[in-house]
Structure 1
Amino acid sequence: MPAGPGSIARVHLLQLPAATFCILSSLSVPTRADQSTSCEWWGDPCPWPLDGECDQSFSTRCENGDCFDCDPLQEHHYDCQSCISAQGYWCPGDALCRGQPLNEAYYSFTLGLFAGGGELATSIKTSCPLAQDWQQTCGPAHHDNVFSDPLYDAMNWSYDMINVEAVWRQGITGAGVHVRINDDGVDASHPEFSQRFDVANSCQEAYLPLPPINNDSNEDIHDHGTACASIVGAQHDNNHCAVGIAPGVTLSSCTVVNPLIFNQGAELFVKQLQEVDISSNSWGPSPCKHKFARTRFLQQQCPFEVDHQISPCRICGGNLENNGMDLEDGLCRRSIIHHCTQFYELDPIACAEYLDLFVDCNYHALSPTEHQVFVRAITEGRNGKGIIFTFPAGNEFPYGSNANLDGFVNSRFTIAVGAVDKVGKRTAYSTPGSPVLISAPGGDLEYISNNIVAKPGGGCHDAGAGTSFSTPVVSGVIALMLEVRPELTWRDVQGILVVTAQQNDPDDDSWNTRNGAGLNHSYFFGFGLVDAFAAVELAKTWELWDPEIQIMVESGTINLNISDDPTQSATSTVTVPADYVDFVTESVVVYMDLQHGSRGDLAIVLESPSGTESLLAPSKRPENTQLQGEEHWKLTTVRNWGESASGNWTLKIADEAAGILEDCVDVKFDYYYDADGTLLHIKCDSFQNTTACLDGQILNDVVHDFIVDNGNGPISAAEACCVCGGGVQVDDIPHILESWSMIVYGHNAIMSSNTSQQNGTNDTTSG
């Protein structure tokens, strides 16, 4: 995926590919003897049905030689009339055109295993499961549709879910509201944005009109950003594609693609500061991502509870009883990786034990420059009311990631957005965490189509699924709110979204917390699914909040030992005075001065005076970067929204992974580019992944000059990175919480004259 600002560890556009069902690619690769000269699958790492590659002549999986992916109309005719004119069959709910009507047999198939035996039955969901559901004529638009756009029906699942049609019927479309799309650029020439794209207030080269796309090499130009812009504000009643959530907004764009010059990238957030109302961002760093294999040993007994024909408990066989089995390579290791990437949400406890096999985590924090840019945007933007920032929670749940590991997502200045599937249930990818505020439709890969949007070059297509596409839904809803109530501040908007959210899928087990203010919060859904109608109606009469108030309490120096025993828990308590009994909490931020050889092993919980618990860090993640100097580990929760702040707040820390996997751990270092003084935050795995460093040696002379001789930061890569010969030995690191502080943000406090800070007490280690 394209890169963006943040760190050299790559920033990703948070999009999942459309209709990809390659669930066994990590288990096996076909031999060249399987190649057929009459099909196009050779070189395809995923030779399965519904993978986007034509496998027509491959084995017998394509019955009668007619695959789903081989249909000549599969990527064309994204409207009914052109499909029927091509003598095709049309499925309006999925915006699909096919040369013949499909039935359930095409959506349910068996994936075989090349080695090790076994097979896995799977299926894909569609709105046209029967042959008779496919149309050969184009009837009139559904009588309940608010607008006449040709692909309206294909996005109606999203419109219905967020109750936006009731808003449109009032004539509210986001008119007069300016939404900035920070992404990979937008095709400003697309008819969906006609006369509503603000070139003057866009960033250079982010909005350039594209020529007609005639070859595959150009198809990805501005694709992601154009899709996000389409979801926010595609035009209504213009005979193109579907309609955006706020089809009357003004749009602009800034390209966020360069991780090496983030000081310039951060400034994009405040470009034309007074012209922008909403900053919609569908990108972010990947705190946890796939990595190179690490040596690992399998536990004695099979820990996986979810069984299927190719589960590790079956593939590994008798090896499960061999405690000395090296999992660095082989089918058993690959079966664990496959199982946990495909079924993580069904087997999270067992898979968390094996994340180090295939995941690396490098927690991301905002730099001082990034933080100051946000401060400027929310204090100066919109004439002091603040630019409203939306960010995706992330797509890294299968990698064990958490929303608190991303500095953009756990900032109180941003609205962290999770994703639900096409029926409002939990997706397999949306990253959970205590900072997640709200959720919105994002789709999921088990559906044959998800988000039908504008395509660069003038057409339409299915952009796929992801929090990339739930985030602009929320941006669009906020635009509708601002049209009816432009004086709302950035905090008012958050407050309205919280109290109007729908509790989607109430049977989901993540709805296990009702806080002291009576609000339900899910780590996956936040306070629930965004409700456009309820949010707009409340915005009309909302009583504006007073300016933000901050309550800060500190523990003082405690040097609290963190035991390597998972049954032991270190606890520390701080107290907010009774003077703040009427204070209304919004968000809570914890800052820790902590030393640990593997902080990813730590489960960190904050308990409020009301008894509400927030899991701030999930434990058992392979992350061991050491904090340096004045750095603090920052973690955020919104689960205390609406509670009183007065009383005891308790921090609980437990090391849930006994022992340390690595002998040496990295230190974060800065690099200052001499040309303009740009500060770069570079991570050590960049040198390992490019083999610039190996086994403690710097192998590349150019890289050596870059990271050692030309840098003027306080520490070089040769000192900071284990792979380059630096780092810190784990045995030299004490496992202690030196001190911690907490800031409670909120409003309408009633205080006495005593406003002094209160030091913490009752610091203990308990079993």
Structure 2
Amino acid sequence: MARFFAAIGLLNLVIFSTSFLAAEEEVMTNSWHVIFKRDVDHQTAHDVANRNGFLMIMPMLGSKREYHFMHPQVKSNRKKRSIRHTKNLKLDPLIATAVQQAGYKRSKRGFKPLKSLLDEEKPIESINAFPPKKGSNEEDPLFDKEWYIKNTGQAGGVPGLDLNAEAAWAKGYTGKNITTAIMDDGVDYMHPDLFDNFNAEASFDFSSNDNFPYPRYTDDWFNSHGTRCAGEIAAKRNNGICGVGVAYNSKIAGLRMLDQPYMTDLIEASSMSHRPDLIDIYSASWGPTDDGKTVDGPRNATMRAIVKGVNEGRNGLGSIYVWASGDGGPSDDCNCDGYAASMWTISINSATNDGRTASYDESCSSTLASTFSNGKPGYKDAGVATTDLYGKCTTKHSGTSAAAPEAAGVFALALEANRKLTWRDVQHLTVLTSKRNHLEDPTAHHQWTMNGAGLEFNHLFGYGVLDAGDMVDLAKDWKTVPERFHCTAGTVKGVYKFDSKNALKLQIDTDGCRGKKNQVNYLEHVQSFITLNSTRRGDVTIYLTSPMNTTSLILSRRPNDDDNKDGFNKWPFMTTHSWAENPRGKWILFVTFSSESEEFQSGNLFEWTLMLHGTQKSPYTSQTSPLIHNTKSKLALVKRQHERAAEFQF
């Protein structure tokens, strides 16, 4: 319980920090977030809604006090707030407050426009329209094209550069009894390669408010996104249809919530808190617009839903939230995406089948690991092979949309190997078992670097490509990591100027809350809450250096971002690059301008708060996995480092 309230205390700061910087005119929807003065049952909430002309849609976050109301006579998108309807709700004797919901844009990762789909990406017919007869053991016709599962050099790839899923399968782990929710535009649950693995009880349609999250038909196959993601995780094996999922005996749930003109906080929150007793993993291949100038993230209810999920989901072990890092390319930075940059989500970037970064990949210091999204340009069937709408298959799925579900599939294998893994255990396993393999930045801008704890990372790829075989090996004997604490290392306030000729250097000297209940000795996530503005926000570049001399690029140049007014307001820039380090000593923040223009730029930093998250005891010294005997394994290396550090009294 103490852990929960600690998280809620931090959440207050996070929610306050996310003052979203919308360039578009505000749009209001016909939904209201209604909070009652006391707990009420469904019938009472329905009666209150009815007498005020509203419909009661559902309770929020499992609460008996918070509800989602909708007014059928109000337009679903309008430019003005419906003050009269809000006032009427607030006058009701049972209602404490009511807030009309703003609408905002959320974009699918990797979706291509109609012309591209018609000219290049027509889905191919599946070999069989229906499942083969019982007892058949036909191979999956697209398996040889699934280079992300078994890379033999298809489409110009590097043999062996894959998820190593077959190693996990050989040990008997196929995702049995694990459910992953696809938060997207729906799932074609009638598809013969998905039907047997569809978890109807855990599914819901938040766009139509019913139990049938089937995609809405469009001529351009726009709503094929969720079905393609689902097949990567749970397409059946050896049924003669399409390919095979990474966790082919796991279940998938459809949470249709993305197919509507405008997203709302209530729909996001409801999706991320739906049936946490049945859903283990939530996979999201979407986020704020990838235009290189948007700074946005989860609102209040959604943040509370995620925090509630990691504290209470899976019977207290914590729901696993997997997020695609974004498709904005080198002109964007996923630390400006509050979903991918959250410490409660696992941000996944992508690589091509020859180990390079794709042209659309964003980079940021919050990315934890990578999977795959595309093959080399010019090669046939170089995309991700998976299921498609209406019983069909495709070999053209791509983008970090394809990367996140692959990661969810690997995590499903790990959860089957050890059902007691917490949400933080999964992150530790990700750091320790991901591989550099053949991953390289072709521009040579981002090199592989060793942090102070001996862990190798890359600004593009995080800690490397997921390795399902090693992850299940480490997971099965894994001991739950120690309790997590957060320490406010310090705050710098004032008016600190920087310009094109003069960079800004600030420092915070911290003892990691030594001697206090929230002492942090071994780092997990590090956040820098920063408030600044400048003549051109997109030209601001920020670095953070730890006491163990690990430098994280927490904000890179975004040439499309020409904001000169809003800047950043307590924005939580996050890095995972100091994982397992000791936080004590001087942290240095370096702020500069990076621009191709000779125009003079200037800015002001008003506040920097450094937040440290981690453990008091080493999460690795008590581990007894056989992988420790592999002296080159990350676990063995960092365990020895922590054992040496433990000789000194904290």
- State the TM-score, normalizing by the size of structure 2: 0.69
Distance 1:577 1:183 in 2: 40
Write the deviation string for residues 97-124 of structure 1: whole angstroms up to 9, x where unpaired. Answer: xxxxxxxxxxxxxxxxxxxxxxxxxxxx
Match of 1:264 in 2: 267
Match of 1:569 in 2: 504
Q: Which residue of 1 aligns with 2:544?
A: 606
When the two chains are superposed, the root-mean-square deviation of aligned CA atoms in Å is 3.2
- Letter of the 1:736 partner, please give it: N
Whether 1:643 aligns to 2:575 is: no
Once the two structures are superposed, what CA deviation does each residue of 1:187-223 show, in whole Å capped at 9, x if it has no partner? 1111112232122221135874869x9xx94562641
Equivalent residue, structure 2, for 1:624: 563
Cα deviation, residue 627, structure 1: 4.7
Change in Cα spacing, 1:224 to 1:486, as seen in structure 2 (3 Å) is: same
Selected match of 1:477 from 399, 410, 430 = 410
Q: Which residue of 1 aligns with 2:527?
A: 589
Q: Which residue of 1 aligns with 2:169?
A: 168
* Alpha-carbon contact 1:565-1:658 (below 8 Å) kept: no
Q: Deviations over 1:280-337 (max 9, x none)?
A: 1111112x42xxxxxxxxxxxxxxxxxxxxxxxxxxxxxxxxxxxxxxxxxxxxxxxx
- Output aligned runs, 1:213-362, within 5 Å: 217-218=218-219, 220=221, 222-257=223-258, 258=260, 259-286=262-289, 288-289=290-291, 361-362=293-294
Given residue 582 of structure 2, which amino acid in structure 1 is its aligned partner?
A: S
> 1:59-78 deviations in whole A, cap 9, x for unaligned?
xxxxxxxxxx7xxx986444
Q: 2: distance between equivalents of 1:14 and 1:381?
A: 26
State how far apart, in whole Å, the 2-side matches of 1:254 and 1:436 are. Answer: 25
Give the structure 2 partner of residue 523 of structure 1.
Answer: 459
CA distance in 2, matches of 1:7, 1:166: 47
Closer, same or farther in 2 for the Cα pair 1:271/1:553, shift >3 Å? same
Superposed, 1:651-730 pairs within 5 Å as: 651-657=589-595
CA distance 1:505–1:263, shift in 2 (3 Å): same
Separation (CA, whole Å) in 1 of partners of 2:107 and 2:237: 30
Give the 4+ runs in structure 1 shifted more than 6 A: 658-662
Give the length in aligned residue pairs: 489
Q: Which position in structure 2 is the counterpart of 1:196?
A: 197
Query: In structure 1, what residue type is equivalent to 2:140?
Result: D
Deviation for aligned residue 1:645: 0.8
Q: 1:252 to 1:443 in 2, by over 3 A?
A: same
> Which residue of 1 is the match for residue 9 of structure 2?
none
Unpaired runs of 5+ residues, structure 1, are: 21-43, 54-68, 83-145, 290-359, 663-729, 751-767
Tell me the equivalent position of 2:479: 543
Q: 1:166 to 1:13 in 2, by over 3 A?
A: same
SS of structure 2 residue aligned to 1:266: helix
Secondary structure of residue in 2 paired with 1:192:
coil
Amino acid at match of 1:479: A
Secondary structure of 1:412's partner? coil
Instruction: Give the counterpart letter for 1:367 in structure 2.
Output: R
In percent, how many aligned pairs have the same letter? 26
The Cα of 1:242 is off from its aligned counterpart by 0.3
- Measured in 1, the distance between the counterparts of 2:288 and 2:429 equals 28
Aligned-pair CA distance for 1:401: 0.3
Q: Which of 410, 415, 421 is the aligned partner of 2:346?
A: 415
1:615 aligns with 2:618: no
Equivalent in the alignment of 1:368: 300
Matched with 2:71 is none
Give the corresponding residue for 1:468.
Answer: 401
Q: Secondary structure at the match of 1:372?
A: helix
**Post-superposition CA distance 1:249-299 (Å, at most 9, x none):** 12111122243422232221001121111001111112x42xxxxxxxxxx
- Name the CA distance, whole Å, in 2 between partners of 1:163 and 1:546: 29
Q: What residue identity is the alignment partner of 2:315?
A: N
1:659 deviates by: 8.7
Structure 2 residue aligned with 1:25: none
2:612 pairs, out of 718, 728, 744, with 744
SS at match of 1:191: coil
Partner of 1:391: 323
Report Cα offsets for 1:19-70 as digits up to 9, x if no partner.
Answer: x9xxxxxxxxxxxxxxxxxxxxxxx7x8xxxx853xxxxxxxxxxxxxxx7x
Question: Are the equivalent residues in 1 in contact too, given 2:104–2:264 (CA < 8 A)?
Answer: no
Whether contact under 8 Å (2:525, 2:575) holds in the other structure is yes
How many Å separate the matches in 2 of 1:460 and 1:159? Answer: 18
**Correspondence for 1:492:** 425
CA distance in 1, matches of 2:236, 2:150: 15
Query: Shift of the alpha carbon at 1:511?
Result: 2.7
Aligned to 1:440: 371
Contact persistence 2:280–2:314 (CA under 8 A): yes
What is the Cα deviation at residue 569 of structure 1?
A: 3.0
1:13 equivalent in alignment to 2:108: yes
Distance across 2 between alignment mates of 1:235 and 1:159? 16
* CA spacing shift, 1:605–1:485, aligned 2, 3 Å: same
Question: For the residues of structure 1 that align with 2:145 and 2:440, how far apart are their CA atoms?
Answer: 27
What is the rounded CA distance, in whole Å, between the counterparts of 2:520 and 2:529 in structure 1? 24
Name the SS for the 1:573 alignment partner: strand
User: In the alignment, which residue of structure 2 is the partner of 1:180?
Assistant: 181
Note the alpha carbon deviations across 1:734-759, whole angstroms, 9 max, x for none.
93222211111111349xxxxxxxxx
User: What is the alpha-carbon distance in structure 2 between the residues aligned to residue 507 and residue 261 of structure 1?
Assistant: 38
Letter matched to residue 601 of structure 1: D
Give the aligned residue type for 1:486: R
Q: 1:284 to 1:207 in 2, by over 3 A?
A: farther
Q: Tell me, in whole angstroms, the C-alpha distance in 1 between the residues paired with 2:548 and 2:167.
A: 37
**Distance across 1 between alignment mates of 2:496 and 2:355:** 43
The 3-state SS of whatever aligns with 2:397 is: coil
Alignment check: 8 A CA contact 2:213 2:255 kept? no
Structure 2 unaligned regions, length at least 5? 1-28, 30-100, 130-136, 152-161, 619-650
Give distance in 2, aligned partners of 1:188 and 1:644. 48
Cα 1:660–1:252 change in 2 (3 A) is farther
- 2-side partners of 1:661 and 1:565: how far apart? 8
